[in-house]
Structure 1
Amino acid sequence: MLEAGFEFDGAADHVLTALAGLPLPLRPTHFSHEEKVGSDADRIADRKRFAAFVAKSKSGFFLLGPAVTYSIRIASGRPLVCDCFMDVEPETAKQLLEHMSTARPIFGFACAPGERERRNRVTTRQGVNTIESWVGRDTQKYLPGFYWLTLLPEALAKQHGVPLIAVKAVAQEHIELEGGQHLFRFYERPGDWVGARAVTELGKSLPGVFDVEKVKPKLLEAKNFLELNSMLRDWK
């Protein structure tokens, strides 16, 4: 299983158009409010039915296919987020990022689930309680990180002072796409992130890139759950 994620400005229309044009087996076939198909009649190919569903799904929905699940999250005043879960070969995941770059995402990535958790999830213990939280994913504050495949637009790199030349020096592969989009592959296979020190050091060396290791010690200073929750909000 692989994970991918994208952020987009604007309405969902251009994102849905891009998803509908994906090659098999990445293309979703059904829509739902749950992570499973509720009815075989809920087919994306039924444009009238699908349009009515999207119109009433103000906070988001799921698009589903035999090997893929796309979670569309919508919040007022925030970028549209598309989380992807795929049971596909690595080269197919690369096709996803190349194709979705045409929709001009703010940021995109694909990786093994363990890598995403390692770079953007923290676990804190307070007494008998264990609190887990996602951190460092707000692209307005920083670049969330570098992953197996990272889709980095020039605009976001410039916003956070990330020199593309430094990223190119560490990446194994760099593809310059249309619209100022840059696709980087940092290691051969998704699982190779374990022990990939060069990528970790790259993130640490650039102030505009989120570094979870700088957050973990600070969370230990929280005296209670309210203090911890306030800290976690700052690093969302």
Structure 2
Amino acid sequence: MLSVDELFKGRHFEREIIILCVRWYLRYKLSFRDLVEMMAERSLSLAHTTIMRWVQRYVPEFEKRWNRFAHPVGGSWRVDETYVKIKGRWTYLYRAVDKAGKPVDFLLRAKRDVAAAKAFFRRAFAKHRRLPQKITLDGYQASHRAARELLAQRQSGGRTRIRSSKYLNNLIEQDHRSIKLRLIPMLGFKRFRRATITIAGVELMNRIRSIHTQQNWSRGKSRAGNLERGARCLSPTL
């Protein structure tokens, strides 16, 4: 992993400015041009393509660093797919949260089929290193088949219960809205890789917010103050 000095070496702007622009773009309903205008009010002259390059360059690095502080997710997963348009074509975003709403994982795929569902579950299982106790799916049978076949290949896979419940999956369907609402101002994506990195950044902001909000409630602190601390949390991880 690169050191902080190496990570920001050669940039014409200070580290704090880069982190701020990337974080605001991923967290709030802002376009690149909105951020250019906001920075101009602070006497900083930026091109919107500069911020776009920052997002693509630094989101993977932020993910690596934040994963060192990641908390384990719960054992009951809610899994569903939603749609994202790339270059005028609909693609499929597989997502999962635990029963407390904490993000588990995501995967963007061009098709919605057994192979895509298997790729998602394989990634999620490997990332968390332990199988969930329950997986709640919608009625789409390809996802059920993919989960069953992957679990059958694992020694403890028989302990995981697969179920279908529209009521329980309302949690993940509602969670999709936060992602979709953030993607609307982005006016669609032109490249699959850029879409994947940007969505990874949006998901990272959701992870950070959910963790800090839960810590806030457990400690009895104000929600507003906690979210402000959570919004600045990328800097300490670097």
Q: Same fold (TM over 0.5)?
A: no
Larger relative contact order, structure 1 or 2 (CA cutoff 8 Å, min sep 6): 2
| TM-score for the superposition, normalised by structure 2 | 0.25
Q: Per residue, is there more strand in 1 or in 2?
A: 1
Q: Per residue, is there more helix in 1 or in 2?
A: 2
